[in-house]
Amino acid sequence: MTSVRFDTRVALVTGAGGGIGRAHALALAERGARVVVNDYAVSIKGDHEQDDRAQSVVNEIKALGGEAVANRDSVADPEGAAAMVTQALDTFGRIDIIVNNAGINASDAIQHEPGPAYQQHMAVHLEGQLLTVRAAWPHMERQRYGRIVNTSSAAALGFVQPDGTWYGSYAIAKGGVLAATRQQAGAGAAHNIKANAILPLAISRMVAPLIPGTTVLDYMERHTGPAHVALAAAVLASEQCPVSGQAFSLSGGRVARLVYASPLGYANPDLTPESVLANWDQVMGESDAEHRLLNFYEAVDNAFEYTLLQRAGIGAEVAL
Ligand SMILES: NC(=O)c1ccc[n+]([C@@H]2O[C@H](COP(=O)([O-])OP(=O)(O)OC[C@H]3O[C@@H](n4cnc5c(N)ncnc54)[C@H](O)[C@@H]3O)[C@@H](O)[C@H]2O)c1
């Protein structure tokens, strides 16, 4: 097995003062990366708190013999995001890896969106990731090397709270992260900049209060530590990273790709609403009782829609 090391690499990890971010910073530093440990120090809802958690993690890294520097800016502030990258360049001379991890959780219910917390969720979860990448991109492009790990969430696939609340802005922003990752991967392909997304699941201060006294909390405490997420994500941050534009569920030692897929579907240039309904099984595609998809195509990009149209017999004579 080739070892995964970061000896010549400089990483920025956002929201790294605790939880999963701290685990990312420790895992990268332990394997040789010099790390900018960013944390704006806020509560789960995003209110400023007084501790210096970024420095605490820097101290932990240094105590283990690693190299790190603290940054206390907000990823939601364009100048702050740019300053994180500048700090990496000024302190360590380069920027190779961004782990966009900072997050809050105060989402309103979907039927109340855009609600009071909407802008803040977009700013932290979605714009924050765009801002750090925007600041680092010219440097990554120039050095023809970059690794971007964006934090999405299974919430983007549907997220209901134990009290029956279906979240809005949190899930929406995390869905946007998946799209942004896909686009960054496309733009980065010519420059050896790889971008992938993770859907982590790990016990942290963010999730524990949502599920007090439940068997799920007990399960998470026993089996889903933040280090599991960080060690798997290290593959995506590494030189050996085999893919770009993909998303992975990471939890408790399980690593699995999330696939965007489409069946051939129902295709008829003369369709009517009635014929669509009459052929609903084809629209939905086949899956077995365990939700395993049968006869689905991986959805690669928007151009692949034309391939499927033609494969379904519509306009197959046109050379695209
Ligand atoms: N824990 C899970 O199971 C889970 C599941 C899905 C997604 N996530 C995502 O993983 C990431 C980490 O979550 P966690 O569970 O470790 O939460 P956490 O609350 O323990 O850590 C989040 C950190 O981000 C920091 N932060 C918040 N806003 C910031 C900003 N504007 N700028 C810089 N730092 C900021 C906070 O101060 C905090 O230290 C988040 O993006 C979260 O949405 C977590």
> What is the residue-averaged pLDDT of the chain?
97
pLDDT at 91: 98
Is 266 an active-site residue? no
Question: What pLDDT is recorded for position 210?
Answer: 86
Average pLDDT value for residue range 195-220: 94
Cβ of 207 less than 6 Å from ligand 1? yes
Choosing from 73, 149, 204 the residue with most ligand 1 atoms within 8 A of its CB, the one to mutate for a pocket test is 204
* Coil, strand or helix at 38: strand
- Model confidence pLDDT, tens digit, residues 90-104: 999 999 999 999 999
Ligand 1, atom 31: closest residue by C-alpha: 74
Question: Radius of gyration over alpha carbons of the chain, in Å?
Answer: 21
* Confidence check: pLDDT of 58 > 90: yes
How close is the Cα of 77 to the center of ligand 1, in Å?
16
Q: Which atom of ligand 1 is nearest to the CA of 104?
A: 27
Structure tokens at 214: 């439940």
Q: Region 125-144: what's the mean pLDDT?
A: 98
120-141 burial, b if ≥16 CB within 10 A, otherwise e? Answer: bbbbbbbbbbbbbbebbbebbb
| Domain 10-258: homologous superfamily in CATH | NAD(P)-binding Rossmann-like Domain (3.40.50.720)
pLDDT (average), residues 256-280: 97
Taking residues 202-212, report their average pLDDT. 92
Q: Which of 177, 206, 216, 258 to mutate to test the pocket of ligand 1 (most atoms within 8 A of CB)?
A: 206
* CA–CA separation, 181 and 175 (whole Å): 10
- Nearest ligand 1 atom to the CA of 43 is 37
Domain positions in the chain are: 10-258, 261-311
Residues 306-318, mean pLDDT to the nearest whole number: 95
Interval between CA 123 and ligand 1 midpoint (Å): 13
Rounded to the nearest angstrom, the distance between the alpha carbon of 73 and the centre of ligand 1 is 14
Tell me: the pLDDT tens digits for 107-120?
999 999 999 999 99
Q: Tell whether the model's pLDDT for residue 162 goes beyond 90.
A: no
Determine the pLDDT at residue 283: 98
* Ligand 1 atom nearest 152 alpha carbon: 7
State whether the beta carbon of 225 lies less than 6 angstroms from ligand 1: no
- The pLDDT tens digits of the residues spanning 11-49 come to 999 999 999 999 999 999 999 999 999 999 999 999 999
Catalytic one among 170, 260, 297, 306? 170
The pLDDT-based confidence of 218 (bands split at 50, 70, 90) is: very high
pLDDT of residue 1: 84
Structure tokens at 3: 């070892």
What confidence score (pLDDT) does residue 268 get? 97
Report the alpha-carbon distance of residue 235 to residue 240 in Å, rounded.
7
Report yes or no: 172 and 125 within 8 Å, Cβ to Cβ. no
Structure token pair of residue 108: 């309103």
pLDDT greater at residue 4 or residue 320? 4
Query: What count of other Cβ atoms lies within 10 Å of the Cβ of residue 55?
Result: 18
**What phi, psi does 153 have (nearest 5°)?**
-165, 150
Does position 74 have pLDDT exceeding 90, yes or no?
Answer: yes
User: Is the CB of 44 within 6 Å of ligand 1?
Assistant: yes
**Percent of the chain clearing pLDDT 90 (strictly above):** 96
Residue 206 CB less than 6 A away from ligand 1? yes
- pLDDT beyond 90 at 273: yes
